[in-house]
C-alpha cells in the first residue's frame, strides 16, 4: 500500500477546540488516481502537507509505503519524503536563484541518483510538459503557467511512489492543463505512482479514478 490514512484529523489553527477536518481515511496503491475537492479554507492544502510530514496532524495515522511517519525521527521522515513523495505546491515554491533546470534537478540530486541519467530524464519531462525552451530561465522570468509546469517536472523527476499535487493545473490554459492531466493520468495508469490531487476543475476530477470531497467529517465520495 502506497498511502494509508487512518482517522487523520487536524484542529483549526486559530480555534483549537474545533476540527478543521477529522476521520480522514484513505487507502491508495500504485495506480490510484484520486481527486479531492472541498470549499476554500477546508484544509485541502493542509491535508497534503501533513501527509508529507510538512505540517503536524492532531489525530490519526499516516503510513507511507508501509512506514508509520510518526515512528521515524526527523531525519528518517525527511529521507522517506525525499525518496517516496513528489509535491506540486499550490504556490509552486521554486527556488528563485536556481534555473528551471536546476529546480527540476533538485530531488534527483538530493537522492543522489546517477548523474549520467539526469539530462535525459529532464529532457523527457520538459518535452512532455512543453518547457524545453525555458529550462535555462530563472523562475521570475517564467510565466505562472511555466512555473507550474516546472514544479510538476520537479515533483516527478525522481519517480516518486506518491505524487501530491495541489491544484496542479490552477495556472494553466485549457490545452496545457489537459497535457499535465494526461501526464498524471498516464503515471497512474502505468502504475508508476499513486496520484493524490486537489482540484477545483471538473475536467481534472473526471480524469481521476475516484473523486472525494473533504468536509469537516472526513472524505466523502462525490
Ligand atoms: N500558517 C497558517 N496559520 C494559521 N492558519 C492557517 C495557516 N495556514 C492555513 N491556515 C488556515 O487553515 C485553514 C485551512 O487552510 P488550507 O490552505 O489548508 O485550505 P484549502 O482547503 O487548501 O483552501 P484553498 O482551496 O483556498 O486553497 C484555513 O482556515 C486557513 O486560513
Ligand atoms: Mg489550498
- For 166-219, write each residue's pLDDT tens digit: 999 999 999 889 888 988 998 888 878 999 999 988 888 888 999 999 999 999
CATH number at residue 42: 3.40.50.300
- pLDDT of 187 reads 87
Whose CA is closest to atom 8 on ligand 1? 46
Q: Residue 148: CB partners within 8 Å, gap ≥ 6?
A: 88, 92, 168, 169, 170, 171, 172, 180
- pLDDT of 179 reads 86
Is 45 near ligand 1, meaning CB less than 6 Å away?
yes
Whose CA is closest to atom 16 on ligand 1? 43
Average pLDDT over residues 92-103: 97
Per residue in 110-156, pLDDT tens?
999 999 999 999 999 999 999 999 999 999 999 999 999 999 999 99
Looking from the CA of residue 90, the nearest atom of ligand 1 is: 27
Q: How far separated are the first and last CA of the chain, in Å rounded?
A: 23
pTM of the model: 0.96
- pLDDT of 86 reads 97
Average pLDDT over residues 88-117: 97
Mean pLDDT of the chain: 95
Which bound ligand lies closest to the C-alpha atom of 36?
1
Domain total for the chain?
A: 1
Is 75 near ligand 1, meaning CB less than 6 Å away?
no
Is 46 near ligand 1, meaning CB less than 6 Å away?
yes
Domain region containing 212: 3-221
Amino acid at each position: 500500500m502506497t498511502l494509508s490514512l487512518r482517522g487523520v484529523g487536524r484542529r483549526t489553527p486559530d480555534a483549537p477546540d474545533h476540527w478543521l477536518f477529522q476521520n480522514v481515511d484513505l487507502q491508495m496503491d500504485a495506480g490510484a488516481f484520486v481527486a479531492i475537492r472541498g470549499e476554500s479554507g477546508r484544509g485541502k492544502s493542509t491535508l497534503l502537507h501533513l501527509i508529507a510530514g510538512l505540517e503536524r496532524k492532531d489525530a490519526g495515522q499516516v503510513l507511507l509505503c508501509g512506514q508509520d511517519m510518526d515512528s521515524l525521527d526527523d531525519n528518517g521522515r525527511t529521507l522517506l519524503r525525499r525518496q517516496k513523495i513528489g509535491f506540486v505546491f499550490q504556490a509552486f515554491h521554486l527556488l528563485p536563484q536556481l534555473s528551471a533546470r536546476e529546480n527540476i534537478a533538485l530531488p534527483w540530486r538530493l537522492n543522489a541518483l546517477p548523474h549520467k541519467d539526469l539530462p535525459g530524464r529532464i529532457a523527457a519531462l520538459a518535452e512532455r510538459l512543453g518547457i524545453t525552451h525555458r529550462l535555462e530561465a530563472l523562475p521570475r522570468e517564467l510565466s505562472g503557467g511555466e512555473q507550474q509546469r516546472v514544479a510538476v517536472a520537479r515533483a516527478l523527476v525522481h519517480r516518486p511512489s506518491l505524487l501530491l499535487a495541489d491544484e496542479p493545473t490552477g495556472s494553466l490554459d485549457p490545452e496545457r492543463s489537459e497535457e499535465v492531466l494526461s501526464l498524471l493520468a498516464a503515471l497512474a495508469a502505468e502504475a508508476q505512482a499513486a496520484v493524490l490531487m486537489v482540484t477545483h476543475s471538473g475536467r481534472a476530477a473526471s480524469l481521476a479514478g475516484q473523486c472525494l470531497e473533504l468536509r469537516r467529517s472526513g472524505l466523502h465520495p462525490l
